Amino acid sequence: MIRGFHNENGCLSLISDREEFSENLVWIDLVGPMPDEKSLVENLTGIDVPTKEEMEEIEISSRLYLENGAAFMTVILPSQTDTGEPEMHPVTFALTNRHLITVRYHEPRSFRTFPARAEKIPMGCETAEGILLGLLEATVDRLADILERDGQEIDAISRKIFRHRADKPTRTHDFQEVLENIGQKGDLTSKIRDSLVSFDRMAGFLSHLMQQRRSGKDIRERIKTLSRDIRSLADYAGFLSQQITFLLDATLGMINIEQNSIIKIFSVAAVVFLPPTLIASIYGMNFTHMPELDWLVGYPFAIGLMIVSAILPYVYFKRRGWL
């Protein structure tokens, strides 16, 4: 799919008909482009559109480079973060003197919200640089929203782990659910950190590029602000990762405590029933000369002895606070 936007009094205006594409376009958005769509953009802008395999390369020189007068910048962006299975794929921003070309194979939310807002409100979309910065700022805002929601859900998990519920003791399946939630939050936070790292590198490259192009002071200031926001979010993502690690250790500790409590019950039960078992074993031996065999109260005596021998260990454990 291909979408084209041109400037209209500082707002973006969508052009859906390819036949109306012209040099007046300022932003061309390629989503899973077909060969004919790539050819159209290459003929219109004079640049080579990178393939998906080229976008997925992890070398810095393959993600941030200059070619034929255009700057190519590739970052990792998340999508479907509201589900339990977020996706991470590269997005390439190609900036020329007149055009911004974006190439992607998934649907980050900022690529829907930014154009919809820029069509209604002037957001400095007169130039390709202005559109790029507006899109990057919207994307960083989206990452901040994801981390904020992630932090709130991590706090909810923390309360679930450490809250004492006397009327509803924690069960093993509760801890299994908690571990699954912690794993999901850890996976999402790790992916967001990966995205922020790629963004930080792109911000540095873009800042150097704007200095070379002698862009306006407002553009350079926006890039500095963007870079500071990215680094603050990276620090917050690191804090969330530490909190997730702590919650994981705490959950495993709570599981061990619960397992130890279960084992303690069985151990105490074994000790309590050990003396009665010993007494029953003694009186179950088939010896001829056993005085108690001739007693009328022999059987009640043995039963009573077994009961007393079971009660005494229980009382002892209770007083020591082991139960």
CATH class of 2-257: alpha beta
pLDDT interval class at 160 (50, 70, 90): confident
Q: Would you state the pLDDT for residue 229?
A: 93
Task: Please tell me the distance from the alpha carbon of residue 305 to that of residue 222, in angstroms, as a whole number.
Answer: 87
Two structure tokens written together for 51:
């393939």
Res. 174: pLDDT tops 80: no
Select the more confidently predicted residue: 167 or 86.
Answer: 86
The 10s digit of each residue's pLDDT in 207-248 is: 888 888 887 888 888 899 999 999 999 999 999 999 999 999
Q: What's the average model confidence in pLDDT over 22-42? A: 83
Going from the C-alpha of 204 to that of each of 9, 168, 208, 285, 313, the distances in angstroms are 30, 53, 6, 88, 72
* Candidate CATH numbers 3.40.718.10, 3.90.1150.10, 3.40.50.2300, 1.20.58.340; the one for domain 258-320: 1.20.58.340
Residue 43 above 70 pLDDT?
yes
Q: Are 30 and 2 within 8 A, CB to CB?
A: yes
The answer to whether the beta carbons of residues 101 and 41 sit under 8 Å apart is yes
For 58-100, how does the pLDDT look when each residue is reduced to its tens digit (9 = 90+)? 887 788 889 888 899 999 998 888 777 888 899 999 998 888 9
Q: Residue 92: its pLDDT value, please?
A: 93
Among residues 6, 37, 30, the alpha carbon closest in space to that of 20 is found at 6
pLDDT value at 276 more than 70: yes
pLDDT at 112 over 70: yes
> Residue 15's beta-bridge partner residues?
4
Instruction: Lay out the sheet containing 87-95: strands in order across.
Output: 11-15, 2-8, 25-31, 100-104, 87-95, 70-79, 64-67
Model pLDDT, residue 79: 86
State the pLDDT at residue 219: 86
Three-class SS string for 160-178?
A: HHHCCCCCCCCCHHHHHHH
Higher pLDDT, 206 or 19: 206
Rounded-to-integer distance, Cα 268 and Cα 35, Å: 74
pTM (predicted TM-score): 0.77
Q: Give the residue extent of every domain in the chain.
A: 2-257, 258-320
Please tell me the predicted confidence (pLDDT) of residue 18.
Answer: 66
Predicted pLDDT at 23: 62
